[in-house]
Amino acid sequence: QVKVAESGGGSVQDGGSLSLSCSMSEDTDSNKCTGWFRQAPGKGREGIASIDNGGTVVRYHDSVKGRFTIGRDNSASIVYLQMNDLKPEDTAMYYCASSSTWTNCLRPAGPRPGDFSVWGQGTQVTVSS
């Protein structure tokens, strides 16, 4: 099955920007939908953005609409998450995950954790005020 690994986390000030990358390897053809998720201390895992394998179907959670952009470079097997206008409430561990089911990318409110079976180790994003 495909493997995924996140990179690009770090610490920024309120209003700053970061770009996260999700690199895929091995059985990349099995990746039909990629999701970005985050989990803050003491909270559940939240789906924030998803993109299908063709790069044409994208969804965002309301909390990040207009600030985050998801994209992919299939030639490099990478899915990106550009995060602008970051706020302290965006502080969390960020994860990417892969699903072999394309329709999991159609949820209007963004990806649901239970739909994804392959997960990375996560990358920390900290936004200070």
- Decide: helix, strand or coil at residue 35: strand
Looking at the predicted structure, is the pLDDT value of residue 127 above 90? Answer: yes
| Spacing of C-alpha 37 from chain mean position | 5
Report strand pairing: 118-119 vs 18-26.
Answer: unpaired
Looking at the predicted structure, is the pLDDT value of residue 44 above 90? Answer: yes
Looking at the predicted structure, is the pLDDT value of residue 4 above 90? Answer: yes
Of the candidates 81, 110, 108, the residue with the CA atom closest to the CA atom of residue 96:
81
Looking at the predicted structure, is the pLDDT value of residue 74 above 90? Answer: no
How many Å apart are CA 16 and CA 40, to the nearest integer?
Answer: 19
Q: In this structure, are residues 90 and 81 in contact, taking their beta carbons and an 8 Å threshold? A: no
